[in-house]
Amino acid sequence: MSVSSQTPTQEKAVQLGIDLEQLPSHVAVIMDGNGRWAKKRGLQRLLGHREGYRTLRGVLLNASELGIKFLTVYAFSAENWRRPEDEVAGLMKLIETAAKDELRAMHRNNVRVQVAGRLDEVPPSLRKALLDGVETTKGNTGITFTLAVNYGGRAEIVDAVKSIIEAGTKASEITEETIASRLYNPLTPEPDLMVRTAGEMRWSNFLIWQSANTELYVTEKPWPEFDETELLNAVLTYQQRTRKFGAVVE
């Protein structure tokens, strides 16, 4: 690739030692630490989520300009309903507003939007905003941006099993591929890299089927402080690892 055809993010990546030919195709992110970020500043938790939204806009752009093909983010987990009512309502509203406000820019930037999760359980206006985004951008050929909303990895597997049974598949015919083909977005490749912010070393029920061979990268930075440099550090660390997929690598 000639220098002139590189985006500023790619130029920075190359300077850091990233090989643009070996990028992770799919990056998944657990955006943790919004609440702690806000608390440290004496702010309400929702302001942390709002700042997290700003961060996400930047990271989507950076990931796209770097050449990442799929970015999946955990916006609201199936477990997040246990939070205080006002925080749940605020998060729902924030995701809805974001989905509406960002749609035009995402479409212009050739972003294809997908969703993952039990959308039948979220407020109808949010469901509509998300599905409008999916419909409007379905023909786009740039980065695929998947919003996991009311998402749980175990719930996804349960839903897959239900649909296999409903299709009348015989137990003896079920393979790993059968289950993979019934996940929410079966055409999306498994994540190569899972990033988690705010230091926690957990999977938190995110993409648990798809992450069997995924590299995990944890940074201490809370999500509102995650930026282009952090993303590039995660990719560089990923490239320094040896992925073995259970085999022996000399």
Instruction: Check if 34 is active-site.
Output: no
Q: Which of residues 68-127 bind ligand FPP (CB under 6 A)?
A: 75, 80, 91, 94-95, 98
Residue 23 in the binding site for ligand FPP (CB under 6 A): no
Residue nearest to ligand FPP (CB): 35
Q: How far apart are CA 114 and CA 117, in angstroms?
A: 10
Amino acid at 136: T
Name the catalytic one among 32, 62, 150, 192.
32
Q: How far apart are CA 218 and CA 140, in angstroms?
A: 31
Name the catalytic one among 19, 34, 62, 80.
80
Q: Which stretch binds ligand FPP (CB under 6 A): 7-15, 30-38, 168-176, 202-210?
A: 30-38
Task: Give the burial class of 208: count Cβ atoms within 10 A of its Cβ; 0-12 exposed, 13-18 middle, 19 or more buried.
Answer: middle
Helices 228-240, 45-66: inter-axial angle, 10-degree rounding: 60
Q: Which of residues 35-74 bind ligand FPP (CB under 6 A)?
A: 35-36, 49, 52-53, 56
Binding-site member from 46, 59, 119, 147 for ligand FPP (CB under 6 A): 147
34 vs 62, beta carbon nearer ligand FPP: 34
34 vs 137, beta carbon nearer ligand FPP: 34
Q: How far apart are CA 56 and CA 69, in angstroms?
A: 16
Q: Find the angle CA(225)-CA(243)-CA(219) to the nearest 5 degrees.
A: 15
Q: Which of residues 195-234 bind ligand FPP (CB under 6 A)?
A: 198, 223
Nearest CA among 28, 48, 51 for reference residue 203? 28
Tell me how far, at minimum, the Cβ of 78 lies from ligand FPP, in Å: 11
147 vs 195, beta carbon nearer ligand FPP: 147
Instruction: Check if 80 is active-site.
Output: yes
Q: Where are the beta strands (DSSP E) in 155-235?
A: 193-196, 215-218
Does the CA dihedral 189-205-117-86 come out positive or negative?
negative
87 vs 190, beta carbon nearer ligand FPP: 87
CA dihedral 76, 156, 180, 204 (to 10 degrees): 50
Residues that bind ligand FPP (CB under 6 A): 31-36, 49, 52-53, 56, 75, 80, 91, 94-95, 98, 147, 198, 223
Which residues form the catalytic set? 32, 80
